[in-house]
């Protein structure tokens, strides 16, 4: 992106709300998502002079195979020690968010965007 003509471009990293409020027993996943957040900030800063914008979409409970365990059986472990079934959202919502971020001109950037199931227990989780 630095050397192409015209110069510049946009990078959109796949983050997670776990980088802001981790789930119990998720140290590996949470650590990697913290790393993505640092990578996003550093790239956004260091690549400005090359007309490269960098942002991150933080996803919460998209209905994918990864989140099936949130709606099966008794649900997923909560910070309180209880298990709870959690709402999920259509992954198409994440796609729409990424399309929006990508459609901006390079003089504008969404540094962080959170897309989540409206009633999932994130706000207030930590």
Catalytic residue numbers read 29
Is omega for the bond preceding 6 within 30 degrees of 0, making it cis? yes
CB contact at 8 A, 44 and 88: no
Return the bridge partners of 55, or none.
12
Q: What angle do CA 28, 33, 34 make, to 5 degrees?
A: 100
Return the bridge partners of 11, or none.
54
* Residue 7 DSSP SS3: coil
Q: Give Cα separations from 82 to 39, 51, 77, 104 (angstroms).
A: 34, 47, 6, 42
């Amino acid at each position: 992106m630095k050397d192409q003509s015209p110069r510049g471009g946009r990078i959109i990293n796949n983050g997670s709300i776990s980088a802001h409020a981790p789930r119990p027993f998720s140290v590996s996943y949470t650590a990697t998502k913290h790393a993505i957040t640092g990578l996003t900030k550093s790239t956004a800063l260091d690549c400005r002079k090359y007309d490269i914008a960098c942002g991150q979409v933080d996803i919460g409970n998209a209905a994918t195979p990864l989140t099936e365990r949130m709606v099966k059986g008794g649900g997923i472990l909560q910070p309180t020690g209880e298990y709870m079934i959690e709402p999920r959202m259509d992954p198409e919502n994440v796609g729409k968010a990424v399309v929006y971020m990508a459609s901006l001109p390079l003089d504008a950037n969404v540094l962080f965007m959170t897309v989540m199931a409206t009633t999932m227990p994130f706000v207030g989780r930590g």
